[in-house]
Structure 1
Amino acid sequence: MLLKILSIILLCSGFTYAQERLIIIGGGKRPADVLTKFVELSGKDQGEILIITWASGEQEASFQSIKKDISALSPIKVVHAPVSPLAVESKEVLLSQLKTAKGVFFTGGDQVRIMKVLEDESLFKAMHERYHKQIVFAGTSAGTAIMSEKMITGEGKLDVIDGSQVETKKGLGLLPNVIVDQHFVKRQRENRLMGLILQNPTLLGIGIDENTAVYVQDNKLAEVLGESQVLIFDTQQKKNEMKMYFLKKGDKFDLVKKSKLKI
């Protein structure tokens, strides 16, 4: 009875729980259903999307490419974050943009370039603060790789299942307790992800193929969007076993309970 009363009080006061929302694309094309979901979560035509292109060697071209894709779906405002490297003035512009954006998107390229910029602790902290305040974050390819706390850099051996042969560095880490890999089926990257999960058995491995995305709510519920597949690896060290879950569009997975949900 007390809980019911408290719920009514919170509802009447306008209190809402924070909801973390993340869309991670495995590279390749940006499917319309994925971008439509991102635009919807970013406030539709009343919102504002901030595009961060630090991973790219051609940052302006990278911005124009995704702006074209989004503009074909919605009149939502799309703005370009200052290109890297950042000066004092451009850093302040970025912090201001983060305060007004309803959606933040990291484009592809080299994930190490993104994290080089985010070595600035104030920027790193600002990203996390916005994520925890209902601002939807998204990324593709390199922009997906950074979402793990332990980020795959792309360096290492792919012909062995040995996590010690795969280079990782600190990622942005918006999605805890996982290691994310991208271009997964297309580039046959299962060896490196399985090796890392065997080496880090408390973490889940999420391999996202090209033209495919995972939409994660509250760092718990994952849903597959797009055209191809997602593979999830779960190692149970005491049993010396690894479970593999194969997910397609529409499938859902509980990242906390480590179980595929029945539709």
Structure 2
Amino acid sequence: MKIHGKLIIIGGAVDKGSFTETDLDTNATKNLNFFEEGILKRIIQESAHKENSRIEVITTASKIPRQIGPEYVKAFSYLGAHNVDVLYIEKREQASEPEIIERLKAADVVMFTGGDQLRLTSILGGTPFDDILIDKYKNTNFIYAGTSAGAAAASNNMIYQGSSSEALLKGEVKITSGLGLIDDVVIDTHFVQRGRIGRLFQAVVGNPKVLGIGLGEDTGLLIKNGRQMEAIGSGLVILVDGREVKDTNLTQVELGQPISINHLVTHVMSKHDTFDLDTFKMTIKSSQYV
């Protein structure tokens, strides 16, 4: 099935400028590089109507939605997008309200903020809002953008808990169902900064069909047609491919015991590198061999 929408998943800590500071304008030059080159700018550029696109910021995952939402409105406004508002969905029944559904139907972009991905899926999963979100992504020129929790929840398989330091102990990584916009991947965020490589290893060895995606902070992936991935932002994307795993002790050890894995393939992507989910081929944009 051809996917008409785009996914933009971000590892967290998006550098959108210090909008909580009072001297934003005097320090604007600090932020111009991000504004011109960064992820939020790319979201606007990829959207259906560019600066005129209707953008809804969804703060459901956050415990402080009334503080987080307006920050994104300011950031998008500074980048020239003024048709932006915050869609507050804090209870499950709100995800069925006609006004909220109509706002989703009218949106060109939804931007899911960080927070708790389990809160996000438990409130939105299986609601009319979720059904329309998936339908718009599959069938229209629509962008689902998500940072941190918003990124982790985008896939069908979702990591919602797991200690970084003990991630390669059997049972330490907890996985449930996400919002289901993309299949056969599992996404982890704040990846490099919080040392979460072990979490992704365990998630992948349990089902090697699933590609592990680890997103660094202020780093993301733009996914077109549901298959073509491009690294965006300033940091690294780590991909974990388990299809060639030769052996593991996963089913032999007790809960809490270390896991062994033989021959787990990894790729490291940086800005403008691409990866094809059909062929599993990566292309380095600035390869030294080209």
Q: Secondary structure of 1:196's partner? A: helix
Report the CA distance shift for 1:168/1:102 in structure 2 as closer, same or farther (over 3 A): same
> Could you tell me how far 1:246 is from its partner in structure 2?
0.8
C-alpha displacement of 1:135: 0.7
Residues 41, 103 of structure 1: 8 Å contact kept: no
Distance in structure 1 (CA, Å) of the matches to 2:54 and 2:3 = 19
Normalised by the size of structure 1, how large is the TM-score? 0.88
Asked if residue 136 in structure 1 is aligned to residue 121 in structure 2, the reply is no
* 2:110 aligned counterpart, secondary structure: strand
Indicate yes or no: 2:190 matched with 1:190: no
Residue number among 239, 245, 249 corresponding to 1:232 in the alignment: 239
Aligned match of 1:38: 43
- Structure 1: segments with no counterpart, 5+ residues: 1-16
CA contact (8 A) 2:222 2:231 kept: yes
Correspondence for 1:121: 127
RMSD: 1.9
Gaps (5+ residues) in structure 2? Answer: 16-33, 248-262, 286-290
Is contact 2:95-2:124 (8 Å) kept?
no
Q: Is 1:78 matched up with 2:84?
A: yes
Matched, 1:251 2:236: no
Deviation at 1:162, TM superposition (A): 4.3
**Aligned with 1:216 (options 220, 223, 236):** 223
The one-letter amino acid paired with 2:149 is A
**Count of residue pairs brought into register by the alignment:** 247
2:9 is matched with: 24
TM-superposition CA deviations, 1:214-261 (whole Å, max 9, x none): 111011111111111010000125634211001111111112211102
Identical residues among aligned pairs (%): 30
Read off the aligned partner of 1:54 and give its amino acid letter: T
CA distance in 1, matches of 2:75, 2:168: 37
Q: Structure 1 residues 78 and 90 mapped into 2: Cα distance closer, same or farther (>3 Å)? A: farther
Answer whether contact 2:157 2:183 (CA < 8 A) is retained. no
Query: What is the CA-CA distance between 1:60 and the residue it aligns to?
Result: 1.4
Specify whether residues 88 and 148 from structure 1 end up closer, same or farther in structure 2 by C-alpha distance, changes over 3 A only.
Answer: closer
Partner of 1:9: none
Distance in 2, matches of 1:89 and 1:157, equals 33
CA contact (8 A) 2:167 2:173 kept: no
Kept in 2, the 8 Å contact 1:158–1:192? The answer is no
Change (3 A) 1:136 1:262: same
Q: Deviations over 1:177-232 (max 9, x none)?
A: 10000000000000011111011100100000001111110111111111110100
